[in-house]
Amino acid sequence: MARKRFLTAMLVVALVGSMAFPAGAAVVSTTEDATTSSISGSVTVTVTGVADGDTVDVRYENGTTETVRLLGVDTPEVNVENTPGEFEGVPNTQAGKDCLRSAGENASKYTKNTLVGRTVTLKFDSQSDRRGDYGRLLAYVYVDGQNFNLGLVEKGHARVYDSTFSQSESFYSAENESQANLRGLWHCRTVDDGGDGGDGGSDSGTASIEWVYAEASSTNDERVQIKNTGSGELDLSGYTLVDEAGNSYTFPSGFTLASGASVWVHSGSGSDDADDLYAAFGHEIWNDYGDTAHLYDENGNEVDSRSY
């Protein structure tokens, strides 16, 4: 009788075990922080350190630590050499690299002053990978209810990192505004790029290619800014804007820019006005991975160039 009771007990244990842990089921380690195993939602942490403008160290309430890569943004490097081609319109020159290094230091200082020692909320994006390079968490950091990642872009401390995440549309919109106003790192577009910024040939007007926006969402969004940096009016009649592949746009007769004024040359189609001209190429021409814009006067002399 005792033997039957023993066998019955063993059978019950075996059945319970098979129900609790079906074949092939993954068993989560009891030492794993429960907050880091949640794919969605948010978690409260304390920022303990800053590696650079877009990477921070955090501590959970239970004492475990993580390194977080701020989702959707990329600030200039401070520990290694920058690649200007990653930052739209920044010239690939030593001056461009030096400017980006300075911008990266500013971004790191801003992140450190704003976040270190603060209790913040990490929010994860269902459209993004859970972890990025080197096993770092990918997350938005919210401080005082505000998205710190987006704030970096709005202030010009970061570019939008080309990846998949649900808030990308608002991030790119903020980047466009920062670029247009030359905020933060985008001021690096104005450093000497090796072009001569030559004389426009008309009443002391001077034509300059200010920047090339290649990573666009549409043909009309792809554009080049030409500015008159001289003291007098600039007549651009017959000037041509050319890329490395030989695609060429000729400015219309009678088109002029006052001193300090600028015009956008869009790759798509539209109605020309004082602020916007349309080349009607029918497709995007400026290479996302690097190109050179050349500006020639009506006599075929190169007035300026900008590489990115």
The question of whether 3 is a catalytic residue gets the answer no
Instruction: Respond yes or no: is residue 69 known to be catalytic.
Output: yes
The single residue of 59, 130, 131, 136 carrying the catalytic annotation is: 136
Q: Give residue 84's Cα distance to chain centre.
A: 12
Point out the catalytic residue in the list 66, 77, 154, 222.
77
CA distance 100 to 74: 12
Catalytic residue among 69, 101, 159, 223, which?
A: 69
Give the residues across from 240 on adjacent strands: 250, 296
d(CA 97, CA 198): 23
Of 139, 150, 124, which Cα lies nearest the Cα of 47?
139
Active site (annotated) includes residue 306: no
Q: Quick one: CA dihedral 208, 256, 295, 88, positive or negative?
A: positive
Active site residues: 69, 77, 136
